[in-house]
Amino acid sequence: MDKRTIVGIVVIVLIILAMPFYQKWVAGTIKKPLEESDTTSVKTPELTSAQDSIKPVQTISEQETATVLQDSAAPAQSKIPLKEIVVISDKFTVRLSTLGGDVRSIKLKGIASRDSGGIELAPNLLGGPNCEFVATIDGKLVSTAGVRFTADRDTIELSENRTTDAVTMVGVAPDGTMFQRRYEFEYGSYHFFQKMFIVSADSTKIIQDATLWWKSGLVPTEKDYKGDISDFAATYHYGEEISHQKASKKHPTVAHDGSTDWIGTRSKYFAVAMMPDKPNSAGGLRINSIWYRTDSSSAEIPIVQVALYHRVGESRFMNSYMFYAGPRDHFILKNYGRNLKRLVDLGWFWLAPITQFLLWFFELLYKIIPNYGWVIILFTLLMKVILTPFSSSQLKSMRRIKELQPQIRSIQERFRDEPQKMNAEVMRIYKKEKVNPIAGCLPLLAQMPIFFALYRALAGGFQFRAQPFVFWIKDLSQRDPYFVLPILMAATMFIQQKISVTDPSQKMMTYMMPVIFLFFFYNMPAGLVLYWTVFNILSFAHMLWLEKKWSQEKEGNMLTITT
C-alpha cells in the first residue's frame, strides 16, 4: 500500500472520528454547570401538581419563586372575575390571562408543524404560570402567581391599518404590593414588550431584588424527536460572552450574578427570549431544568426555564422587556442587534462566517429558484467549477502515477527488504516526474470547510426546515427516510473508484471508501447527502471527459510522430 493510499485512509478516518465531536460542539461551546459553591443557594419545595398527562421524572427547586396556584388572595381579590385577553397578529396569536397577568399561549402562524395543532411556544406542560414575576420585599417573596388582575382590554387584533396596540393589567398581592403589567404588540413582528411596574405596600418596605421568569419551556416540534430534544438549552448573553447551558440532572439549577443582556430557552428551530430595554441592565440570570414524560412518549424531555435577575434596593421597581417568540432564523434575529442572532449556532468562530455566507447565498438563489433542492444542486455545480483546478491536478497526478506503476513495482521488488530505501527511491521518481502523491486528497481537503459549514446550515438553518425536494424527500434538513441518496452516493463513489484505481495495492480503497462514506452519510440531512452525491456525479463526468481528452491528445501526438 503506497503513501497516497495510506494518507487517503488516514484523512477519511480522521474525518469520521472528528464528526461526532463536531456535531456535539459545532453548535457552540456548552458551558459546564457551575460548581455547588458558585450556584445560588435555593430551597427545594415539592413540585406543584402537574396535568394528568405529565409524569415528572425529576423535580427541582422553583428558584426564588413563591408560586401560589390556589386562589389565596384576600376576599376582595377573590371577587375580581378572571378573563382571557386574545391578541391576534400576522405572526402569532397570544392569549393573556388576568390570573397572574400571565402569558398563557403563543401560537405561531404560517409555520408547518408535524401535526395540525400548530407550533405552541408556551405549552405550559407543568401547570402554574408561564411568565412569573417574583420580588423579595422585606425578606419575603411576593409573586404575581395567584394575583387577580384587572385589564383594560378584552381583544386586540392587529393589521396593516392598526400596527400597534397594548393592554394594561393591574393587580394587588395579599400583602398590598401593587403590580402593573403592560403588554405592547406590533404587527409584522415575532416580539412583544412587557413593561413591569411594582410598588411595595408602603415606602418603608424595600424591594431587595426582582426576578422575571419564563417557566413554560418548549416541546419538540420535529419528526426527529430525539434530534430536536438534543438542542434544548438556555442561551444567554452574560458579560462579554454568548453561552449555552444544556439541561443537567446533576446541576438542575444554575445562577450567575453580573451584567446580563438577555436570556432565552430554545429548541432546534424555535426560541423564547427575554431582553431588558437597556443593554446589560439585568443583574444576573437563573436557569432551572425539569424533566417530564408524556403518555405518548417514553423519552425524557427537558423543560429549560430561564429568568432575568435584578437587585433593586428601593420601594418600587420598573423595567421594560422585549420578548422574542419565534423561529431561530438568523436573518430575523440579526435585525434585533445586541447579538440576539447568536441564538442560532453557526459553528466554530472560524466556521461561522462561511456558514453565514452559505445561508445568505442560498436565500439569494432561492429567490430565483424556489426549491432548495435545486438550489443545492446549482451550488454544487458552482463548487465543482471552482474546484476544477484541484480536480484536474488530482486526475493528472493519478494518471501519471498510473503510468509510473511499472517503475514503482520494479523498485518495490528490488528493495523488498529495505523499506526505507524503497520509499526514498519511490519519492525520488515522484520528484523527478513532478508527481504529487497526495494530490488526490486536495479536493477532499479543500471541500471540508464548505462541507462542515453546509452541514451546520442544513442542520440548523430555519429556512431549510420542512423544505421538500422531489418525490420522497419531504424535508432537506432531515435524513433521507428511505436512504436512497446515501446508497446512490456510495454507488457513484464505488464506480468512480473502480474505474480510476488500477494499482492493485489500492484496490482495497475501492471497496473501503464507499462503505465508510455510506456509514458516514446515512444519518446526515438529505440536503447534505444530495450535495455530495451530485458532486460525485460531476467529478465522475469530469474524469471521463479528461480521459477522453488525454486519449485524443495521445493519439494526436502519436500521429504527429509517425508522420
Whether the Cβ atoms of residue 82 and residue 98 lie closer than 8 Å to each other: yes
Closest CA to 67 of 213, 276, 234, 285: 213
How far apart are alpha carbons 33 and 248 in whole angstroms? 8
324 and 306 in contact (C-beta within 8 Å)? no
pLDDT of residue 503: 58
> Residue 346 has which C-alpha cell?
453557526
Q: Read off the DSSP letter of residue 160.
A: S
DSSP summary character for residue 120: B
CATH class, range 52-343: mainly beta
Beta bridge partners of 143: 134
User: What pLDDT, on a 0 to 100 scale, did the predictor assign at position 100?
Assistant: 96
Residue carrying C-alpha cell 405596600? 201
Give pLDDT, residue 437: 63
Classify 563 as helix, strand or coil: coil
- Contacts of the segment 431-434: beta carbons below 8 A, 24+ positions apart: 433/400, 433/404
Distance (Å, whole) CA 32 – CA 245? 7
CA gyration radius for the chain? Answer: 30
Decide if 216 contacts 302 (C-beta within 8 A).
no
How many degrees, rounded to 5, is the angle at CA 365 between CA 362 and CA 368?
Answer: 150
CB within 8 A of 60, min separation 6: which ones? 44, 47, 252, 253, 288, 289, 290
- What's the confidence (pLDDT) of residue 146? 92
Mark the ranges of the chain whose per-residue pLDDT is less than 50. Answer: 1-8, 20-73
Burial of 525 (C-beta count, 10 Å sphere; 0-12/13-18/19+): buried
Q: Judge contact between 157 and 141, C-beta under 8 A.
A: no
Q: Residue 563: what pLDDT?
A: 56
Distance CA 527, CA 26 (A): 18
- Decide if 67 contacts 132 (C-beta within 8 A): yes
- Cα–Cα dist 131/145, whole Å: 9
Three-state DSSP at 11 gives helix
Owner of C-alpha cell 495495492: 505
CA angle at 355 for the pair 270 and 465, rounded to the nearest 5°:
35
pTM flag (> 0.85)? no
Q: Are 469 and 530 in contact (CB under 8 A)?
A: yes
In this structure, what C-alpha cell is assigned to residue 35?
460548581
Spatial strand order of the sheet with 102-108 comes to: 102-108, 92-97, 84-88, 155-157
d(CA 214, CA 344): 20
Strand partners for 307: 213, 286
Distance CA 90, CA 88 (A): 7
What count of residues does the chain have?
Answer: 563
Residues 6+ apart with CB under 8 A from 281: 310, 319
Domain assignments of the chain as residue spans, ordered by start: 3-21+358-562, 52-343
Q: What is the largest CA-CA distance in the chain?
A: 115
Which residues sit opposite 244 in a β-bridge? 30, 235
CB 121 within 8 A of CB 106: yes
Please calculate the CA angle 281-282-285 and round it to the nearest 5 degrees.
155
Of 124, 65, 63, nearest to 289 (Cα)?
63
Residue 423 amino acid letter: N
Counts of helices then strands in the chain (DSSP H, E): 13, 19
Q: pLDDT of 192-248, one tens digit each?
A: 999 999 999 988 899 999 999 999 989 889 888 888 888 999 999 999 899 999 988
pLDDT at 561: 58
Tabulate helix, strand, coil % of the chain (nearest 5).
40, 25, 35
Note the helical H segments in 294-418: 330-333, 352-368, 372-386, 388-403, 405-414
